[in-house]
Structure 1
Amino acid sequence: MIGSESAVAFDALREADLHIDRLYLAGTKGTAGDDALGRLLPVGLQGGFRPRGSVRKKRVRLVALYTAGTEPDWPDHLDPETGIFTYYGDNRRSGSDLHHTKRSGNLLLRDVFEATHGLPEERAVVPPFLCFEKAAPGRSVRFRGLLAPGTETMTSDEDLSAIWRHTKGARFQNYRATFTVLDVGIVQRRWLSSVLAGEPTTGPGCPEPWREWVEGRVYRPLVAPSTLTIRTKDDQLPDDPAGLEMLRMIRAHFDGRETDFEECAVAIWRMMAPATGKCAVTPPSRDGGRDAVGTYMLGPGADRVAVEFALEAKCYRETNSVGVKEMSRLISRIRHRQFGVFVTLSYFAKQVYEEVREDGHPIVMICGRDVVDSLRRKGYSDPERLRKWMDEGFSRNRNIDSVVDIGSSVSVDESMLDESRTTAVSNQMQRL
């Protein structure tokens, strides 16, 4: 990424420009004053929301958003390929009203997202949001971009949504906010100083994408298509004990009946691909190498096009990789204009990954880390909630002999089912 090639020393932070993905080093005295973000900008030393100015008096001039990426219940996420940043509000514990938080972060979100969908003069008072990510060593940070609230395609009902969570039976709400990382490689200190001094955000040094957003709500995202198509084993497995434990819980739930994991795999796929239409799980005795078949819906609601897919699922341990044999089995069954989905709780061997990508096979490869990330985004990071989700959706005593069509009225090609009975995906999937 632009500007990521060098780090900025602590003593130089007060005058430094902000470069995408550049590391800004912390001090070394071992005190709170070592905080790099507090030295870069005149904001607080703690918390995710660090505004300059009063939120309640609506006099915020600039906001630093800080994410540590260590809270599985609140998985802040930057998608560099789309430029979309998802950030969770600051009501992360039960006991407080949605807008009555210590740092007024949710109140700030409410106000700026309301202005986002207003007139240009309303967006003109929205403070610039600067995204920083926790980095090493110490209290160093990495700059991830200049953010504009909202996205080009989301409505006011979608870009800021209040979601429910619970802790020990106590329910509470928090915001999930969606921002766009603007196509700005360098945020100049001259502009930051002007904004902090109370000048309009479209004043001297203003990045052109920010001006376009203020004046016309035009989103020009910073998109960075990935050049890395071969994920390593470490990339494919959770890097935290809680994530590994989630995978172990799923495997334990299906212990001795691994074929039942197929329905769970379809549910996980639906989390990632909500436009999935009909989907049917094939009986293990005649599945023909495809654990499920279905359709993915494209186009407007009034005239959708159904693209057929086949899904394979493996309830493997994290030490057991998906090899060439398993992948070849799925590839051989995919016909023209179809694609494949392979879901595993483990990882794909390097040779498999290389062959699929180099040969251009239309296979979606979902590994253990992908499964954990999707469950967390749906709020199932808590062991109790995850266990309840599995018990209700994939119990041992479910009747698997009937057929229930879920989603679109477009039918699945019956030949894909190998003339076998089809199994209904669970009621749980109907709720996703």
Structure 2
Amino acid sequence: MKIKLNQIFSNNADEEFTQWNYLTAGTLGVPLNTAKGIEFFKKALDRTPLIVFHTNHYKEDQEQTPWRDLIFQSAGRVIYNGDNKSSNFAAHEARGNRKVLELINLYSSKSKIDRLKAPPIIITKTVKLKGRTGYRQFIGVGLINQSPKLVQQYEKKTNQVFSNYQFEVTLISLTPEEEFDWKWIDDRRNSTLDDISSLKHAPTNWKLWVEKGNEIISQIRLNIKSYRIIDEQEQKNMPIQNKKIINDLLNVYYPDPSKDGIRFEALASFITELYFENSTYSRGWITAGSSDRGVDFVGRLDIGHDAFSSNSLIVLGQSKRYKSPISGERLTRVASRMTRGYIGVVVTLDTFTRKAQEEIKDDQLPIILINGKKASELLLNYINRTGKTLQEIVEIEDEWSKTNIRTTHYSSIIDEI
């Protein structure tokens, strides 16, 4: 059976959707267990056929699911937390973690023989349809090309600290097939087929990785270029933990738009830094109110690797601590500053209207829109990675704001830092 990205499967009988058990049973007739977050088939010829990382955001914040998984499908990146959820066990003792750690060296091996055995990692997530969560969506297939991180958290019942592994998965592009052929998995389960023969129905980009290794990761990574307009309801549709971040920022930490303006500008500057995490980005300063020229904070994005070939872009930021959607009119101030060598970033805790998005895209303005959903994802990722609380982040940014307010023209950042 061939499946597509974002295809939905049912956990139970449903006339509209294929059952997940039917898909995973394949030609061998034995399906995967849907009750486990990390699942895998038994080995065939000393190769594990696949590993499934399944995430259910509807269980987040519960005792059995204290970790927050993050899916950045369009960027080909998934941050997935392992299956240790108790202080009674070490992180490496959990069944799923143990399996991944057993195989993880295959993904970084320079040997094609090892890479042939490396199991594809399939990412799925629970989705709600017809008022029920008995459905899962196929997000993609990928591999681990970075060392796992050991993260810690307090156990809710006992307040004891326990550890878990955090795995980063790189999703691969399914072009040119545009489909995932489950026969590949059936072949990997077939003990009569050797490793090379079991590769026949693999995606083209997986075959390239097996042949050349991690040096071609950037070429085969999933990268969905989307120019579609995202409606406001979709922007508001986020997991409970994201909503709590937004509510706490609006009502607890920055309740007064006037008094808390400078403080929130500092947080918006920090969120922008998180957005450019994998780039050479430098935070600049917050602009003083009387001389901000429509810009709330300044940064610099450096491109290139040496003094001869590098270049820099000035980042002009606006922060919108709003409880209502941002219209196109509210983006005009930062848009008016856009010229060669500048890009804009607008950070809000709410949404952007359809009209605002259309104006930015139609005018081809280099402005990045970070809505509340994206801002909460960036903060949750940082919280997950560092163990800091939202309150600690706010306090750190409050201190940063006290010493980083300037009246200097933002073009001067090119010669600083």
Among the aligned pairs, what percent are the same residue? 17
Q: Which residue of 1 aligns with 2:8?
A: 23
Q: Distance in 1 between matches of 2:11 and 2:401?
A: 55
- Kindly indicate whether the alpha-carbon contact (under 8 Å) linking 1:26 and 1:138 is maintained by their aligned counterparts in 2: no
- Tell me the SS of whatever aligns to 1:413: helix
Q: TM-score, normalised by structure 1?
A: 0.76
Q: Which residue of 2 aligns with 1:237?
A: 236
Q: Which residue of 2 aligns with 1:12?
A: none
1:233-312 correspondence to structure 2 within 5 Å: 233-251=232-250, 252-254=252-254, 255=256, 256-274=259-277, 275-300=280-305, 304-312=310-318
- Tell me the SS of whatever aligns to 1:346: coil
- Kindly indicate whether the alpha-carbon contact (under 8 Å) linking 1:310 and 1:341 is maintained by their aligned counterparts in 2: yes
**1:128 has 2:128 as partner:** no
CA shift in 2, pair 1:94/1:174, >3 Å:
farther
CA shift in 2, pair 1:231/1:382, >3 Å:
farther
Q: Distance in 1 between matches of 2:209 and 2:388?
A: 43
**1:197 has 2:196 as partner:** no
Amino acid at match of 2:98: L
Q: Distance in 1 between matches of 2:212 and 2:290?
A: 58
Bigger mean CA offset, 302-311 vs 113-122: 302-311
Q: Distance in 1 between matches of 2:119 and 2:286?
A: 50
In structure 1, stretches of 5+ residues that fail to align are 1-15, 151-158, 406-410, 417-421, 425-432
Q: CA deviation at 1:200?
A: 3.2
Q: Which residue of 1 aligns with 2:137?
A: 142
- Kindly indicate whether the alpha-carbon contact (under 8 Å) linking 1:61 and 1:128 is maintained by their aligned counterparts in 2: yes
Select 2:360's aligned residue among 353, 356, 366: 356
CA shift in 2, pair 1:169/1:258, >3 Å:
farther
Amino acid at match of 1:24: F
Q: CA deviation at 1:206?
A: 2.6
- Kindly indicate whether the alpha-carbon contact (under 8 Å) linking 1:112 and 1:149 is maintained by their aligned counterparts in 2: no
Q: CA deviation at 1:271?
A: 0.6
Q: Which residue of 2 aligns with 1:40?
A: 24
Q: Which residue of 1 aligns with 2:148?
A: 161
1:400-411 correspondence to structure 2 within 5 Å: 400=403
Could you say what the CA RMSD is over the residues aligned between the two structures, in angstroms? 3.5
- Tell me the SS of whatever aligns to 1:213: helix
- Kindly indicate whether the alpha-carbon contact (under 8 Å) linking 2:327 and 2:353 is maintained by their aligned counterparts in 1: yes
Q: Distance in 1 between matches of 2:50 and 2:413?
A: 59
CA shift in 2, pair 1:169/1:311, >3 Å:
farther
Select 1:174's aligned residue among 165, 169, 177: 165
Q: CA deviation at 1:238?
A: 4.8
Q: Distance in 1 between matches of 2:185 and 2:413?
A: 62
Q: Distance in 2 between matches of 1:244 and 1:358?
A: 31
- Kindly indicate whether the alpha-carbon contact (under 8 Å) linking 2:270 and 2:397 is maintained by their aligned counterparts in 1: no
Q: Distance in 1 between matches of 2:194 and 2:90?
A: 33
**1:53 has 2:37 as partner:** no
Q: CA deviation at 1:401?
A: 6.8
- Kindly indicate whether the alpha-carbon contact (under 8 Å) linking 1:86 and 1:177 is maintained by their aligned counterparts in 2: yes
In structure 2, stretches of 5+ residues that fail to align are 26-30, 62-66
Deviations 1:213-242, CA, capped at 9 Å, x for gaps:
2232254344432141x2221233353343
Q: Which residue of 2 aligns with 1:408?
A: none
Q: CA deviation at 1:384?
A: 8.2
Q: Distance in 2 between matches of 1:302 and 1:91?
A: 46
- Tell me the SS of whatever aligns to 2:282: strand
